[in-house]
Structure 1
Amino acid sequence: MLEHGGRLLRAVRQYGIAREHWLDLSSGIAPWPFPIPSIPVQAWARLPETHDGLEQAACRYYGAAQLLPVAGSQAAIQALPLLRPPGNVGVLSPCYAEHAHAWQRAGHQLTALDETQVKASLDHLDVLVLVNPNNPTGRSLPRETVLAWHQRLAARGGWLLVDEAFMDNTPACSVVDCAERPGLIVLRSFGKFFGLAGVRLGFVAAEGSLLSRLADLLGPWTINGPTRVLAQASLADQATQHLQRERCAAYSLRLAQLLARGGLAVSGGCDLFQYVRCQHAAHLHDHLARSGILVRLFEQPSALRFGLPACEADELRLAQALATYKKDTP
């Protein structure tokens, strides 16, 4: 398996610190879960129904014409490369590593691209994959740019796959409302913004024929009954959604300021995390872990991603660990 954030039990074993004493900032997941509704017994006892209103609630929330629920957007990431014959795939990098891994495993030829190389490469690609806002850098591409790239690819029968896992905080930048256009596929993650990653839910927006092929590949009952109940309640809870956007924005700004005071220049980020490129990332990662603080380490380029602390006490703990590192590092 590829490296991911959120592997807290591994850190518990490696550093000998009990789980309850950790501050886990290794995943870009909102640290304030939405309220869990009452789950009817029938949701546990019966096979899930696909006409219970989940798809309609998701379409209203995302502003999409049609969507396919999947068991986390990871399920779609692994399945979509199987729906095209092997071809040339560009991946806007750095990027969530599972994308490149899935396309390469399915026999496609991959090219890592930075933003300045995409325009000149489009006519040689069958598929372009991008994460917007980017994971891990937080870089957000303008909607107009994304749609222009799609238009060029679609004119030759190509695909543009846009992973919008971190888009809920800035919905005006999304292209999900255009996903019925041939060749445009948009992934949305439920768990990150709603703070409920454990339910394993995501959505795919695309033209109907492609969604049908993807549904056939994934098979029936991909979303369990309790998740379908929980998701509908969260997708309809506009008051908590508004609160979540406000506090994510506020705490992300506070995190950026905290890191700056700790001597770390923020290189990027969004309302769910901050990203710091630094040569000593591995050393700092280890120092924080020895203080019971888990962050996400990247080797190429050398960088750290910090998720949002949930409260002032967590912020203070991180600030103290950074101050100790700054004091002890020549």
Structure 2
Amino acid sequence: MSKERIWHGGDLDKARRLFPEAPEPWIDLSTGINPIPYPLPDLPPHLFERLPSPRAQMDLEVVAAEAYGAVDAATVMAAPGTQVLINLLPVLWPRSQVAVLAPTYAEHAHAWRMARHQVTEAASLEQAENADIVVLVNPNNPDGRVLKRCMLLGLSERLRQRGGWLVIDEAFADFESDESLVPHLPENAVILRSFGKTYGLAGLRLGFAIAASETVMRLRRILGPWAVSGPAIAVGKQALLDRDWRDAAQQARDADARRLDALLGPVSDQVPRGTTLYRLIESRHASDLFAHLGRRGIWVRRFEYNPRILRLGLPGSEAAWTRLGEAIAAFRNAKESE
């Protein structure tokens, strides 16, 4: 059983330990969460005082089905965040050969290993598709790679013909070009969608599994009653119905991503890539840049498997943009004078 520790973004306690002299407040760019959150509505007290009703969750799932393009609301299940679903999915199958398309979000391989499946981390779909279960993230985290829908439909069909399954994490799909498999859901696929990243409300803990209704029923039995809180149901329903907000947020974050690329391009050895909500750079000076930003109270994401890459989320204010721009300019000047 794996005992690996997985590092995630958002750990400002770790940032303060590494850079105790850094100025406060920290600018946390280590996650891929929308820095401009959906405005929370006024919530009635009864949402906190009573258990959520099954009808309320069903209404949320109907709204989510429409928002994500699912053909049937019976194929959509709300959960307290996609991380819970990542940990639950390996329980649905007996021990199997599982291929995770990597490098990617490390919790996927970890969850299947913890459930005692035999896991390989494959560098390509060709290496992965002989497994019983193929797991991939689309768009991928952290590099933003997008696999075309036609490729995934072909893969799911080849897996189906021999009893295999496809698991797709679409956590960052909302603001990206539409290659989602949700509107074309294969019977042997499970698709995960995240609410908190797009709407900037990660602490609300809300996510969705989209799969054949029989698979959804199995997941419901494992998850148990009242898994999603009343406040999460209410906020999630209102936000998913607010298409005007989402369209405006997508346009604004697209502009922010282009602005961030313009800042990062001069310190990257390659053109920045990623998704709308985060950008990835590759540089021979990545370790120096990580430390330079950390000393200035700017926390970004580094990766142990590749010390040449850094991932940066979007700043959430003009003050944060200014601090980041000044820090990058100082880094460039220091490198040019060496």
State the match for 1:275 in structure 2.
Answer: 280
Corresponding residue to 2:121 among 86, 101, 112: 112
State the match for 1:62 in structure 2.
Answer: 68
- Deviations 1:220-278, CA, capped at 9 Å, x for gaps: 11111111111111001111111111011111011111101345533421111101123
Specify the code of the residue in structure 1 equivalent to 2:6: L
Work out the CA distance in 1 between the residues paired with 2:105 and 2:86: 10
What's the TM-score, normalizing by structure 2?
0.92
- Deviations 1:123-142, CA, capped at 9 Å, x for gaps: x2101111000000011111
- The 8 Å contact of residues 276 and 304 in structure 1, kept in 2 or not, is answered as yes
Q: CA separation of 1:18/1:232 partners in 2, compared to 1, >3 Å: closer, same or farther? A: farther
Alpha-carbon shift at residue 19 of structure 1 (Å): 8.4
Mapping 1:290-305, distance limit 5 Å? 290-302=295-307, 303-305=309-311
Corresponding residue to 1:226 among 227, 231, 236: 231
- Deviations 1:8-57, CA, capped at 9 Å, x for gaps: 13323442368851111100011110011111111111001121111111
State the match for 1:174 in structure 2.
Answer: 180
Alpha-carbon shift at residue 87 of structure 1 (Å): 1.2
Work out the CA distance in 1 between the residues paired with 2:108 and 2:213: 22
Between 1:16-25 and 1:320-329, the stretch displaced more is 16-25
Alpha-carbon shift at residue 283 of structure 1 (Å): 2.7
Work out the CA distance in 1 between the residues paired with 2:195 and 2:223: 18
Mapping 1:137-176, distance limit 5 Å? 137-170=143-176, 172-176=178-182
Work out the CA distance in 2 between the residues paired with 1:236 and 1:263: 39
Q: How many residue pairs were aligned?
A: 326
Q: Is 2:202 the counterpart of 1:193?
A: no
Work out the CA distance in 1 between the residues paired with 2:279 and 2:250: 16
State the match for 1:83 in structure 2.
Answer: 92
Alpha-carbon shift at residue 217 of structure 1 (Å): 1.1
Q: Is 2:29 the counterpart of 1:25?
A: yes
- Deviations 1:64-89, CA, capped at 9 Å, x for gaps: 12211111100010010111111111
Q: CA separation of 1:92/1:231 partners in 2, compared to 1, >3 Å: closer, same or farther? A: same
Specify the code of the residue in structure 1 equivalent to 2:77: L
Specify the code of the residue in structure 1 equivalent to 2:288: H
- The 8 Å contact of residues 266 and 274 in structure 1, kept in 2 or not, is answered as no
- Deviations 1:153-194, CA, capped at 9 Å, x for gaps: 111111110000000012621111223x32111000000011
Secondary structure in structure 2 of the residue aligned to 1:211: helix
Mapping 1:250-269, distance limit 5 Å? 250-263=255-268, 265-269=270-274
Work out the CA distance in 1 between the residues paired with 2:204 and 2:141: 21
Identity %: 41
- The 8 Å contact of residues 269 and 284 in structure 2, kept in 1 or not, is answered as no
State the match for 1:40 in structure 2.
Answer: 44
Q: Output the aligned Cα RMSD.
A: 1.7
Specify the code of the residue in structure 2 equivalent to 1:37: P
State the match for 1:5 in structure 2.
Answer: 9
Q: CA separation of 1:126/1:326 partners in 2, compared to 1, >3 Å: closer, same or farther? A: same
